[in-house]
A = this chain, B = another copy of it.
Amino acid sequence: MNYKVPLKDIRFVAKEVLDMPTHYSKFTRGKNAEPDLVDAIFDEAAKFCENELVPLNKVGDEEGCHFDDGVVTTPKGFKEAYQDFVNNGWPALCGPAEYGGQAMPESIGLTMMEMMISSNHSWSMYPGLSLGAIKTIHTHANDNIKERFMRPMVAGNWTGTMCLTEPHCGSDLGLMKSYAEVDDSSAEEGAYKISGSKIFISSGEHDLAENILHIVLARLPDAPKGIGGISLFLVPKFLVNEDGSLGERNGVSCGSIEEKMGIHGNSTCVMNFDEAKGYLISPPHKGMRAMFTFINESRLGVAMHGQAHSSVSFQKALAYAKDREQFRATERKNPDRPADPIICHADVRRMLLTQKAFAEGGRMLNMFCGKQVDISLSPDFTDEERHHAEALLAILTPIAKGFLSETSLEATNLGIQILGGHGFIKEWGMEQEVRDARISQLYEGTTGIQGLDLLGRKILKTRGAAIKPLMELFDEFVGDNRWNSHARRFKKYFKKWKSLTRSVGFKVMRGDMDELNAAAVEYLMFAGYVTLGYFWSRAAIVAEEALEKGDGDADFYQSKIEMSNFYYDRLMPRADAMIESIGNGAESLMAMDEDRFVFLDV
């Protein structure tokens, strides 16, 4: 079967779990999001995704991108789909009105992004990276630059990239070597010549758009060493004249594209900057801070990559499990046939429900983050409200990115497992989900980096202050639902989270930084399980209330209650194992001398 956008679940989360209509009524952009209009947008977005992107998903995987002497050609059909996307105005959906955008709330665009990634991850990354580039330029560049570069970006005629990684530095960007020199030949203010080589640049070169704006980290001549000496530049593929027309080709070129495990339809480029003209868009040496506008946006995107693959793999595996007949069920479904559909078997259900828990639970988490993005960006909210939303995002972004990407590895592999041998062959598309999902645990910072960001840079560095807003949200939920069984099951793990944070914090505060590093990934996964537990409890309570009222689709609500039970019964126990493992500390990780890891000489 082909992927279908799960509109009913998206609307349940938006309207019933997160009450987005009320949220939208509170700020200017939100007022553009009239309920009927949002419904219509989602309907149309779903059609575009199902009709145009889904059919290109396998094509993109099989054909991949082509590289010929610096020119990158995307798989057959990608360009036409992108042209339709632009012609229909989709890129501008959440763009700022002053540059031609439709100024819908960001949360609407993020939900559409889930649909696009689910339909075709590789394709979605071309417009996906533009969104981060637009936000970065809009937030950090001066009006001159914005005037010249924003409009075609918002319209989707140009696309964007983020250029961070170099061959010798990925996670540790302080080692970066790319550099900028003052461009004496140019009369333009803030113009530099950028040189260096960047690798793993997604959508770095392609044939979808007439220009590409690279957002590039490099060092100014007088830069201090390390991470505090990096500045941020805008480097266009084609120079842009003052009147906005395209000028000559800039000194930036694609040296090659990578052969990868998955996302074959997206070009992953080596980009060579050879005295390329660029514009400084951050304060000198404060480029990393500015780049985090892009990085945080992208991390939420990657959280959606993870969630989207879990969702698609679940849909496909479910269709197979209802159709494929093997063995007899405990309670026969087809008494007159020799076997029953495999969905009757408890172990197949265990796999399907695990996929569903991550897919639909992840959707609640991501859409909740989308709501916070809306608040954090709108001047209509008070400073306090905005800071509160930012604080929630600071904690939830690494959790969503790390946890949903890791669980997508499990969910998509379960998708293969449900199909048995048929999952391993290319025909059914299940293995492509695994290969495409695999990048999400890596880019925008590996799970290890997300764990350090969450536990180290966020929680421990602020002595716990950073996690308070989330804990207060949980406290309030538990208090409001004191007698509800779903809330009580959550409460038990919420308490464990607080105590785990205290015990890890205590060790690290004594000065042992290895303890931080030893705990980080499992702490993040623990946080992910409990956070998803919160959303499953919340969904179950919403469903119970709806059932009590007697409105709507009782079966649908019932399924949410059943999911919450499954989640706590069969997945949440994993969180306890993490407490135990973290509690055992760093000692056994650090004991082995590096020469003792392997003995290959006889």
The residues of A with any CB-CB pair to B shorter than 8 Å are 4, 6-9, 11, 165, 168-172, 174-175, 199-200, 225-226, 258-262, 268, 314-315, 318, 322, 325-327, 330, 338-339, 341, 343-350, 352-353, 356, 409, 413, 416-417, 420-427, 431, 434-435, 438-439, 441-443, 446-448, 451-452, 512-515, 517-518, 520-521, 553, 555-556, 558-559, 562-563, 565-566, 569-571, 573-578, 580-581, 584-602
A-B residue pairs, 3 tightest by C-beta: A573-B580, A346-B517, A261-B431
CB distance from A288 to the nearest CB of B (A): 15
Q: Given known contacts A8-B601, A423-B442, A566-B592, what 20 new A-B pairs fall within 8 Å (CB)?
A: A4-B600, A6-B598, A8-B602, A171-B327, A172-B326, A175-B325, A175-B326, A225-B338, A258-B425, A258-B426, A260-B431, A318-B598, A330-B517, A346-B590, A347-B451, A417-B441, A417-B448, A420-B442, A570-B589, A573-B577
When the two chains form their complex, are residues A8 and B521 in contact, meaning their CB atoms are under 8 A apart?
no
Question: With A and B bound together, what is the CA distance between A592 and B564 in angstroms?
Answer: 11
When the two chains form their complex, are residues A352 and B597 in contact, meaning their CB atoms are under 8 A apart?
yes
When the two chains form their complex, are residues A588 and B600 in contact, meaning their CB atoms are under 8 A apart?
no
CB distance from A135 to the nearest CB of B (A): 23
Copies of this chain, how many? 2
When the two chains form their complex, are residues A438 and B447 in contact, meaning their CB atoms are under 8 A apart?
no
22 contacts between A and B (CB under 8 A): A170-B420, A260-B426, A315-B598, A318-B597, A346-B517, A350-B589, A353-B588, A409-B413, A413-B441, A416-B442, A417-B447, A423-B442, A435-B435, A555-B593, A555-B595, A558-B596, A562-B591, A563-B592, A566-B589, A569-B584, A570-B589, A576-B577
CB distance from A130 to the nearest CB of B (A): 21
CB distance from A503 to the nearest CB of B (A): 15
When the two chains form their complex, are residues B590 and A566 in contact, meaning their CB atoms are under 8 A apart?
no
CB distance from A171 to the nearest CB of B (A): 5
Residues of B within 8 A of A352 (CB): 597
Residues of B within 8 A of A327 (CB): 171-172
With a 10 A CB-CB cut-off, give which of A439, A555, A586, A600 has the most chain B CB atoms: A600
With a 10 A CB-CB cut-off, give which of A314, A425, A443, A517 has the most chain B CB atoms: A517
When the two chains form their complex, are residues A170 and B576 in contact, meaning their CB atoms are under 8 A apart?
no
When the two chains form their complex, are residues A420 and B171 in contact, meaning their CB atoms are under 8 A apart?
yes
Question: With A and B bound together, what is the CA distance between A6 and B593 in angstroms?
Answer: 19
When the two chains form their complex, are residues A259 and B581 in contact, meaning their CB atoms are under 8 A apart?
no
Residues of B within 8 A of A447 (CB): 417
Question: With A and B bound together, what is the CA distance between A258 and B520 in angstroms?
Answer: 41
Question: With A and B bound together, what is the CA distance between A575 and B574 in angstroms?
Answer: 9
CB < 8 Å: which of B169, B341, B563, B592 contacts A349?
B592
Q: Of all chain B residues, which has the CB nearest A592?
A: B562
With a 10 A CB-CB cut-off, give which of A7, A341, A425 has the most chain B CB atoms: A425
Residues of B within 8 A of A425 (CB): 258-261, 268
When the two chains form their complex, are residues A438 and B424 in contact, meaning their CB atoms are under 8 A apart?
yes
Question: With A and B bound together, what is the CA distance between A513 and B330 in angstroms?
Answer: 7
Question: With A and B bound together, what is the CA distance between A225 and B165 in angstroms?
Answer: 62
When the two chains form their complex, are residues A339 and B596 in contact, meaning their CB atoms are under 8 A apart?
no
When the two chains form their complex, are residues B417 and A443 in contact, meaning their CB atoms are under 8 A apart?
no
When the two chains form their complex, are residues B596 and A421 in contact, meaning their CB atoms are under 8 A apart?
no
Question: With A and B bound together, what is the CA distance between A380 and B366 in angstroms?
Answer: 65
Question: With A and B bound together, what is the CA distance between A199 and B348 in angstroms?
Answer: 22
Residues of B within 8 A of A170 (CB): 326, 420-422
Question: With A and B bound together, what is the CA distance between A423 and B517 in angstroms?
Answer: 21
Residues of B within 8 A of A578 (CB): 573
Residues of B within 8 A of A566 (CB): 588-589, 591-592
Residues of B within 8 A of A268 (CB): 425
When the two chains form their complex, are residues B559 and A596 in contact, meaning their CB atoms are under 8 A apart?
yes
